[in-house]
Amino acid sequence: MKGGFYGLRGKQISLILVALVCATILIGTWDRTYLLTSFLPPQVRFLQLSPEILIGVPSVSTLAAKPNISTVAEKGVINELEEHQSREGALEDSAEISPGIGKTETNVTTNPVKKGDILGREIANEQKRKHSSAAARTSPEKNSPVERTACNYAKGKWVVDDNWPLYSGFGCKQWLSGMWACRLTQRTDFAYEKLQWHPKNCTMDKFTRSKFLARMQNKTLAFVGDSLGRQQFQSLMCMVTGGKEMPDVLDVGKEYGLVKARGAVRPDGWAYRFPDTNTTILYYWSASLCDLEPLDITNPTTDYAMHLDRPPAFLQRFLHKFDVLVLNTGHHWNRGKFKANRWVMYTGGVPNTNRKTVDIGGAKNFTIYSIVNWVNLQLPKYPGLKAFFRSISPRHFFNGDWNTGGTCDITSPLSGGKEVLQDESGDPVAAGAVKGTQIKLLDITTLSQLRDEGHISRYSIKATPGMQDCLHWCLPGVPDTWNEILFAQL
């Protein structure tokens, strides 16, 4: 053998060594060299991503849309991205639960009220449930078009539920007017209490005291309307307290001017506050949703200017303090009520002469559109405010009206059917007024229409032979369902 290594001269050996070194560098760096990645396949088996690296990575949906994801390593990257983004989404969602809760898992479980308080633990559990379910909502598979579609809570059926009602008419004396507590009357059939509303094609969140107070922490819910609004207010107070006496609940009516005037039968409304969560529930009587102004303040029997185009002064004064507002009107728009209340219709500050609104029906419709439009214009000033207009509650007088022998002695539940299949509201005026606005329709008309057996009927304390109450409802009863639907939309 001649000189050299295996017959190779020193120059040849040097070239071979240089080539080997270059090849090693090439193999080790091709995933990081832009020019080389155009010619060489990716080394995905070496790809490992940590949550810190993922901050600037494209979304899961973008990556999932790319074709030819065939290797186990690439699928592992997608799974890691999904897990990371679910954690991020859950932490962001938890920040909306309460002003005092931060974006760490430790803070999410923080009790919003004092330690040892049972209600506080219930609310904390509700907040943890919302936190844990938030991650599931960030998954692309669960954000289907069907789930994103808003539920039509007015479409569904009545179902017997032995766990219903949520309170007893015997025990809710602190909040419930005796004339509406049918358990305290001579009525003997109570099958109507066991009926619960089930929306079609969607699940309505179950009402519990802890869930409600958690959602309404540091917030105020106001009902403004007629006596049916008052029934809904009393129903909610019974639902939140479980119909039990609660001496710690504060009467804060004075904050809103809701005090009984001298000689009055009752105040213009009530306001109560749950101190543990600083949750306030109030009701203000405004049967027409119009601003009422005495024409002669020195005359106790003066007529009242009923300003069809002005919201009640109470709303103008206190709207900024509300987080949830529920409006209703309807049953006081008749000649008898106008005469009894001494209402005179005004528009533009002068007696109303508009032919379209001079009749009571037209005036009512005009007022509903007017109040909805006014509240809608206020919403940009108060971005946290949620406003609802509740559709009209149906009457069930048969064989006459309230003062002409009309009755509602039916005791068989759902004699007219148990299911609502229509998509349209049973109150087209209310539905038309909120259309195109940020005001939501609390649609209860048609589902309540099926409940002709749920009225006070002849069992009211004030009812006398030949005069029955087929307008107001027994409590517990149908208005509880209105509050369930309201709660589901909060």
pLDDT higher than 70, residue 8 = no
* Across 83-87, 129-133, 177-181, least confident range: 83-87
Mean pLDDT of 171-175: 93
> b or e along 354-368 (b: 16 or more beta carbons within 10 Å of the residue's beta carbon)?
eeebeeeeebbbbbb
* Cβ partners under 8 Å of residue 11, min gap 6: none
Mean pLDDT of 458-478: 86
Q: How much of the chain, in percent, has pLDDT values that exceed 70? A: 70
* Cβ partners under 8 Å of residue 329, min gap 6: 225, 226, 286, 287, 288, 289, 364, 367, 368, 371
Mean pLDDT of 266-275: 96
Cα separation, 370 vs 352, whole angstroms? 15
Cα separation, 438 vs 168, whole angstroms? 36
Mean pLDDT of 454-470: 83
Please say whether the beta carbons of 255 and 231 come within 8 A.
no
Strand 269-274 and strand 250-251: the pairing is antiparallel
Strand 220-225 and strand 195-199: the pairing is unpaired
Give residue-wise pLDDT tens across range 404-458: 889 998 888 888 889 999 999 999 999 999 999 999 999 999 999 999 999 999 9
Closest of 97, 206, 165 to residue 485, by C-alpha: 206
Mean pLDDT of 178-194: 92
Long-range pairs of 46-52 with CB within 8 A, sequence gap ≥ 24: 47/73, 47/77, 49/77, 49/80, 49/81, 51/84, 51/87
* Across 82-96, 321-335, 354-368, least confident range: 82-96
pLDDT at 161: 94
Task: Give the DSSP per-residue string, 173-189.
Answer: TTTS-GGG-GGGSS---
Q: How many CB atoms lie within 10 A of CB 67?
A: 5
Q: What's the N-to-C CA distance of the chain in angstroms?
A: 94
pLDDT at 404: 86
pLDDT higher than 60, residue 74 = no
pLDDT at 116: 39
Confidence of residue 111 (pLDDT cuts 50, 70, 90): very low
Query: In this structure, what token pair is assigned to residue 44?
Result: 């995905």
* Across 39-53, 269-283, 316-330, 404-418, least confident range: 39-53
Average pLDDT, the chain: 79
pLDDT higher than 70, residue 360 = yes
Q: How much of the chain, in percent, has pLDDT values that exceed 90? A: 58
pLDDT higher than 70, residue 9 = no
Domain boundaries, the chain: 1-41, 43-145, 150-488
Confidence of residue 240 (pLDDT cuts 50, 70, 90): very high
Strand 324-327 and strand 386-390: the pairing is parallel
Mean pLDDT of 276-303: 96
Mean pLDDT of 169-192: 92
Query: Which amino acid is located at 367 in the chain?
Result: T
For 343, the 3-state DSSP assignment is strand
pLDDT at 186: 86
* Cβ partners under 8 Å of residue 24, min gap 6: none
Query: In this structure, what token pair is assigned to residue 203?
Result: 């699940």
pLDDT higher than 70, residue 12 = no
Q: In the CATH scheme, what is the code of domain 150-488?
A: 3.40.50.1110
Give residue-wise pLDDT tens across range 38-65: 444 444 333 333 333 333 333 333 333 3
Mean pLDDT of 452-465: 83
Give residue-wise pLDDT tens across range 136-153: 443 444 344 444 568 999
> b or e along 436-459 (b: 16 or more beta carbons within 10 Å of the residue's beta carbon)?
ebebbbbbbbbbbbbbbbbbbbbb
pLDDT at 124: 55
Where does 286-357 show beta strands of DSSP type E?
A: 291-294, 304-307, 324-327, 343-347, 350-351
Higher pLDDT, 197 or 106: 197
